[in-house]
Amino acid sequence: MKIDIMSLDLSELTEFMTSIGEKAFRAKQLYDWMHVKHVPLSEMSNISDKLKGILDEKCYFATPEEIKVQESRIDGTRKYLFKFADGNMVETVWMKYHHGNSVCISSQVGCRMGCSFCASTLDGLERNLTASEMLGQIYKVSNLTGERVSNIVVMGSGEPMDNYDNVVRFVRLVSDPGGLNISQRNITVSTCGLVPMMKKLADEKLQITLALSLHAVTDEKRREIMPIAKSYTISQLMDACSYYFDRTGRRITFEYSLIRGVNDTEPDAEGLIKLAGGVGAHVNLIPVNPVTERGYKESTREAVMAFKNKLEKKRINVTIRREMGRDIDGACGQLRRRYID
């Protein structure tokens, strides 16, 4: 087994370098090449050829290869299909906003959560991504675009809380002042609601935003569209949200994909007001994006606006997510691990 070198923090990397007979300062140089300058081994100019040979033989450098890129004609969003050394592929999305550039990364190859409106879960879960492979997606995108990344959303394919240790390691590495140094406040991790892991995450005392994919306000309806709802009730989810807020001081975001005739009625809005009000959550409404294999239709523009207005009247903090990259199947719930045939 090769050493997953880009997943090591500086002290672990130092330990590794000394174990192969190198001086400690080499670790800092290597860390800087990997996490600040993002260059391949061959371009690390102050590392000797001999050491490069050893590292090449012993280590896995997780930066993926670009297989394909699609650019939205509407908003300039780019969707990349990336391939890792073992042949597995994931999609990563780059979005330009007025306030900076966001990268949406995948946390798993595929997903096993089975949400009925989402494309990422269609072929099940293939494997978890390592922390380095999550970093690698960001480094690759920033190299390809030549631009600085300011925000990260872990909202691509995969369920981050189903790959907990790697995701937490990733957050620590990407926010490391000695690395890419992205503020934790600019990182959002989204979950379909694995209650024990949400609580565990709260105890890590990170400053990231936790987003909960709620999508329904009764257990009955939620169970129809999200299999995970059979394991955890909405009341348990709300407890976990309160706990997260108490421990971190960070407001939760609810993601709510509006599906025509399924969850966009008056009682749905009322239920959502109660839940969001109860835990002080910010609500992000997403008109559901089309997925060929799924039959759902997005709510009409009028229904979306009416839904939003109801929430606003009750002073719920609500936004409608701009659907970036829909024409390239790069929007929420449209990411896959292969070409669409």
Point out the residues that are catalytic. 91, 332
Q: What are 100's strand-pairing partners? A: 97
Q: Does 192 bind ligand SAH (CB under 6 A)?
A: yes
Best CA proximity match to 263, nearest among 297, 236, 295, 231: 297
* C-beta closer to ligand SAH: residue 182 or 288: 288
Nearest residue to ligand SAH, by Cβ distance, number only = 333
Question: Which of 288, 304, 316, 328 touches ligand SAH by CB under 6 A?
Answer: 288
Query: Smallest distance, Å, CB 215 to ligand SAH?
Result: 6
| Integer CA distances (angstroms), 11 to 14, 25, 286, 291, in order | 5, 11, 42, 44
Residue 152 is a binding residue for ligand SAH (CB under 6 A): no
Residue from 159, 264, 268, 329 that binds ligand SAH (CB under 6 A)? 159
- Judged by CB under 6 A, the number of residues near ligand SAH is 18
Q: Alpha carbon of 123 to those of 126, 154, 339: distances in Å?
A: 8, 20, 13
Distance between CA atoms of 178 and 34, rounded to whole angstroms?
11
Of the pair 6, 288, the CB lying nearest ligand SAH is at 288
Residue closer to ligand SAH (CB basis): 128 or 143: 128
The CB-of-15 to ligand SAH minimum distance in angstroms stands at 33
SS3 120: coil
Residue 241 within binding range of ligand SAH, rule CB under 6 A: no
Q: How far is the CB of 189 from ligand SAH (least distance, A)?
A: 8
Residue closer to ligand SAH by CB (options 113, 272) is 113
Among 269, 273, 324, 332, binds ligand SAH (CB under 6 A): 332
For 242-246, the CB contacts below 8 A with 24+ separation are: 242/279, 243/198, 243/199, 243/202, 244/198, 244/199, 244/201, 244/202, 244/210, 245/279, 245/280, 246/202
Q: How many CA atoms lie within 13 A of 122 on its CB side?
A: 15
Tokens of 325: 């990259």
Q: Single out the segment in contact with ligand SAH by CB under 6 A; choices: 40-48, 49-57, 186-194, 268-276.
A: 186-194
Of 18-26, 44-52, 78-86, 110-118, the window that binds ligand SAH (rule: CB under 6 A) is 110-118
Residues 316 and 277 sit within 8 Å (Cβ to Cβ): yes
| Residue of 289, 311, 326, 336 that binds ligand SAH (CB under 6 A) | 289
Contact 81, 71 (CB under 8 A): no
Decide if residue 64 touches ligand SAH (CB under 6 A).
no
Per CB under 6 A, 134 contacts ligand SAH:
no
Task: Select from 233, 286, 284 the least CA-distant residue to 259.
Answer: 286
Distance CA 148, CA 100 (A): 8
Q: Does 31 bind ligand SAH (CB under 6 A)?
A: no
Q: Candidates 17, 89, 118, 168: give the one binding ligand SAH (CB under 6 A).
A: 118
Residue 48 makes CB contacts below 8 A (sequence gap 6+) with none
Of residues 56 and 204, the one with the C-beta less far from ligand SAH: 204
Residues numbered 290 to 329 that lie near ligand SAH (CB under 6 A) are 291
Contact, 284 vs 254, CB < 8 A? yes
334 closest CA partner among 144, 98, 65, 72: 72
- Residue reference for tokens 């699609």: 70
Does 209 sit near ligand SAH (CB under 6 A)? no
Among 213, 253, 263, 299, binds ligand SAH (CB under 6 A): 213
Per CB under 6 A, 47 contacts ligand SAH? no
Among 155, 167, 304, 328, binds ligand SAH (CB under 6 A): 155
Q: Is 241:279 a contact under the CB 8 Å cutoff?
A: yes
Binding positions for ligand SAH, rule: CB under 6 A? 113, 115, 117-118, 155, 159, 190-192, 213, 255, 257, 286, 288-289, 291, 332-333
